[in-house]
Amino acid sequence: MNERSPAEDCQAHLKLLQRRRDVQAVLVMPDHLKIPPFQAEPLYLLVITQAAGNGSVKQYRLSDRMVVERHISAWELEKSAVHGLGEQMAAWMERAELVWAKDDHTKQLIQRLRRLSDSLQKRMLCREYSRMLRHFQETKDFLQLGMPLDAYLALIKTLHAWARWIAFAEGEQPAPELWTQVKRLDPAVCKLYEELVVNDEALDKRMELLLLPIEFFLSSKLRESVRFLLEIMGSKQGAWTLAELLEHPLIANSGMELEILLEKLVQRSLVLEVPCGSKDGVGSEIGYLSLK
């Protein structure tokens, strides 16, 4: 009996997956579009299932070729359509080829995940802006305290958040090769990053060169970046406490740096800080009222 070729083994395995009742879709990553870190020529499969949970990863061999099979539930992907995908899964959705889907709903879900909706774009811009704001403040604090290495790390994080903001602003998901992406979208910001990491000048001088353009960006892009938060704050009459905002379903677990963002909005007179009743009989809790 003739042995099957590696390609025939892969096709047979894909057919087995299609016959499983819990499998909703199968995607295959083309060899030329693999996502770092690379392994020794594996076949990457993404299997969308009905099972609950965050999924699992399996490794096995077909005709001496390693197969890496990542499982994720359709429910997790439905949530990601609202809250956003992680970088690696976003790259999967963009680059992998859909080889089979059980129904039109699953196909449409995958198509939705491959696009950045307006609502998700606003949310991601607000998140990355808030992260940039926080890390930039850390950079300045560390410089003032005479801690250049800590300031350098905080500045790298500032630029990383800026790079992600640029990708989202252009309607794209941040790619694993983020700075190659930003070099295409905004070469000037990529140049700033290069000046920081490869310039021969003293570290303190390199960092000082970046402070002014970052300050300018944070000032000029504030209104565009915080539309998401201001729309939430304008959705009810009266002030919000920090706790209420943190519990909002679109903000909870989002990774947004809300405290420093609210402080910035108060400074720029986009939000008013008001007393919001007593807290345990001691003082009054702070409330925030949108002025937009």
Q: Got the DSSP string for the chain?
A: -PPPPHHHHHHHHHHHHHH-TTEEEEEE--GGGPPSSP-SSPEEEEEEES--SS-EEEEEEETTEEEEEEEEEHHHHHHHHHH---HHHHHHHHHSEEEEESSHHHHHHHHHHTS--HHHHHHHHHHHHHHHHHHHHHHHHHHHTT-HHHHHHHHHHHHHHHHHHHHHHTT-PPPSSHHHHHHHH-HHHHHHHHHHHH--S-HHHHHHHHHHHHHHHHHHTHHHHSHHHHHHHTTSSS-EEHHHHHTSTTTTTS---HHHHHHHHHHTTSEEEEEEEESTTSSEEEEEEE--
The least confident of 107-116, 132-141, 229-238 is 107-116
The least confident of 12-16, 103-107, 177-181 is 12-16
Could you give the percent of the chain with pLDDT greater than 70?
A: 91
Length of the chain: 292
| Domain ranges across the chain | 6-113, 118-225, 227-290
Which residues pair with residue 66 across a beta bridge? 61
The CATH number of the structural domain formed by 6-113 is: 3.30.460.10
Give me the residue label for tokens 């609502």. 119
pLDDT band for 46, please (50, 70, 90 cuts): confident
pLDDT digits (tens, 9 = 90+) for 141-184: 999 999 999 999 999 999 999 999 999 999 999 988 999 999 99
Dig out the tokens for 56 from the structure.
């699992």
Tell me the CA distances in angstroms from 239 to 84, 154, 176, 287, one per residue in order: 28, 33, 39, 5
Given this chain, do its domains 6-113 and 118-225 carry the same CATH topology?
Answer: no
- The dihedrals phi and psi of 28, each to the nearest 5 degrees, come to -125, 135
pLDDT at residue 94 in the model: 86
pLDDT band for 78, please (50, 70, 90 cuts): confident
pLDDT surpasses 70 at 5:
no
Out of 3.40.50.10860, 3.40.190.10, 3.40.50.300, 1.20.120.330, select the CATH number for domain 118-225.
1.20.120.330
Residue 278 to residue 292: CA distance in whole angstroms = 26
pTM: 0.87
pLDDT band for 33, please (50, 70, 90 cuts): low
pLDDT surpasses 50 at 47:
yes
pLDDT digits (tens, 9 = 90+) for 174-225: 988 999 999 999 999 999 999 999 888 899 999 999 999 999 999 999 999 9
Name the pairing type of β-strands 56-62 and 97-101. Answer: unpaired
- The dihedrals phi and psi of 73, each to the nearest 5 degrees, come to -80, 150
Residue 190 to residue 165: CA distance in whole angstroms = 13
pLDDT band for 1, please (50, 70, 90 cuts): very low
Which has the higher per-residue pLDDT, 5 or 17? 17
Give me the residue label for tokens 């944070």. 218
Dig out the tokens for 207 from the structure.
């960092």
State the chain's mean pLDDT as an integer: 88
Dig out the tokens for 277 from the structure.
């009743």
